[in-house]
Amino acid sequence: MSSQQSYSANELLRRYKSKTLSPLEYIQNLFHRIELINPKINAFVALNKEKALYQAKQAERIYGKNDNARPLEGVPIAIKDLTNTKGLRTTYGCLVYKDHIPKRDATIVKRLKEAGAIIIGKTNTPEFGHTGTTTNLLFGPSRNPWDLAKATGGSSGGSAAAVAAGLVPLAEGSDGGGSIRIPSSFCGVYGFKPSFGRIPMDNHLDGIFGNHEPFVHYGVIGRHIDDMALMFDVVQGDAMTDPFSLPKMQESVARLINLKTRDFRIGWTSDFGIYTLDEEVNHLFFDTLSKLERLGITVEHVNIDMKKTLPEYIAYFESLWTCGLAASTGEFADKHRDRLPETLLSMIERGKQLSAVEFKSLETYRAYLYHMMESHFQTYDIILSPTLAVPPFDYDQEGPFHINGKKIKRDSDWVMTQLYNLTGEPAISIPIGFTKKTKLPVGIQAAARRLDDVRLLQFAKLMEDDFQIPTLAPQNHD
């Protein structure tokens, strides 16, 4: 399988249709590769091998008979272990659920299956996705395919690692504060959080970790924007199970993003006025802005007025997040304290301290952030920032101890992604290169006005085509 791990989803579909690649042989080879690589990176925590091979045989028959293949016929996709999969173990990263088999698929999984995708397995995540790193008491830490000593980020760290290692071309993730974009930046792949409501979120039907607050999104992780648009086309659209879900966009996103244009007006902020950046992240960020200017794209600084210091802003977001977490998992946590990590328990306890009045008052600041950002998007098509303030740190750390010698709050001060969960605007982490000293991936975060997902993906496609940043971790090549 010396080259097959680099195939994009679109390349797979072309080869299947031309009969130059057997879906069954490809999926068999894929599981062989997972057997070799996964013990090193701990991306997958459950495999769907028997059903996947059966589906591959079905796909082979469809292509062999020239029947109408579905949009993702035979394409392997990984699902995060927070997302319900009927008949396939889903643990939410939690010891209590180590043998849990959901009775229904989440809508996103159902739609992928109906489109012909082959669900390869479930990917690692912290308990209920509660941190920006990927480890748990049940399966342990995932490791970064670019450097096994480094973290994947989280909470969709298993999904990002699986994509970066060439184990799948596409993976599903979820994002309540950066959980798609954080690991995508660390693992050097693309991580797309659409506008809130574009993809229905309905895990609450199984009584755990549903859309308890309107800032949790499903999204897509991949190595190529064309692939991600193909998957997004399949999974977006409203569903009765999610009252926040939006009507389906009728035009093909995969087609629209290939209407090439450089007609973008770009605003940028390196720090949102409150963050401290690692020197190498800072260098790569400004180098990227210079490259965009050389392409003839207008790039201007924009003043983002957060109206809070970094400690105040992080405290605000944590209050909003922990309150929802306490509401959805607090009673459960009280029953199973001995099998939950202290990080999760402390977050739940903080959430319980917030009164209903205090919680509602938080929405005032959230409304300010939304209107402030939407006003900037009246001027700019895209606003750029670093995805994270730091490159990947060691896999056994909660976060960095310092940035440029300045002591920071390890579990939050390096994460620059929460804003777009609060506003519901679409955002994507785009690989922009590697640190000079350690050769580790760094991402840039691009965001657009709410519901302008197509414009955002058009810009990401431009950057992929013009920058040509590698997204497949080299030490895992056969």
Q: Could you read off the pLDDT tens digit of each residue along the chain, which spans 478 residues?
A: 458 999 999 999 999 999 999 999 999 999 999 999 999 999 999 999 999 999 999 999 999 998 899 999 999 999 999 999 999 999 999 999 999 999 999 999 999 999 999 999 999 999 999 999 999 999 999 999 999 999 999 999 999 999 999 999 999 999 999 999 999 999 999 999 999 999 999 875 455 544 556 789 999 999 999 999 999 999 999 999 888 899 999 999 999 999 989 999 999 999 999 999 999 999 999 999 999 999 999 999 999 999 999 999 999 999 998 988 898 888 899 999 999 999 999 999 999 999 989 888 888 999 999 999 999 999 999 999 999 999 999 999 999 999 999 999 888 999 999 999 999 999 999 999 999 999 999 999 999 999 999 999 999 999 999 999 999 999 644 4
Q: How far apart are CA 478 and CA 476, in angstroms?
A: 6
Supply the CATH number for residue 288's domain: 3.90.1300.10
Spatial neighbors of 378 by CB under 8 A, at least 6 apart, are: 449
Residues 43 and 132: their CA atoms lie apart, in Å, by 15
CA dist 161 and 169 (Å) reads 11
Q: How far apart are CA 351 and CA 370, in angstroms?
A: 23
Bridge partner residues of 191 (DSSP): 221, 429
Q: Distance (Å, rounded) from C-alpha 300 to C-alpha 107?
A: 40
Residues contacting residue 272 through CB under 8 Å, at least 6 positions apart: 304, 306, 385, 416, 419
Number of folded domains that form the chain: 1
The residue segments making up the domain with residue 140 are 4-242+249-476
Burial class (CB in 10 A: 0-12, 13-18, 19+), 436: exposed
Euclidean distance between CA atoms 167 and 120, whole angstroms = 9
CA–CA separation, 183 and 61 (whole Å): 37
Q: Which residues are catalytic?
A: 80, 155, 179
Please indicate, yes or no, whether the overall pTM of this predicted structure exceeds 0.85. Answer: yes
Beta strands in 177-305 (DSSP E): 190-193, 217-222, 265-268, 298-301
DSSP per-residue string spanning 343-412:
HHHHHHHHHHT--HHHHHHHHHHHHHHHHHHHHHTTT-SEEEEESBSS---BTT-SS-SEETTEE--TTT
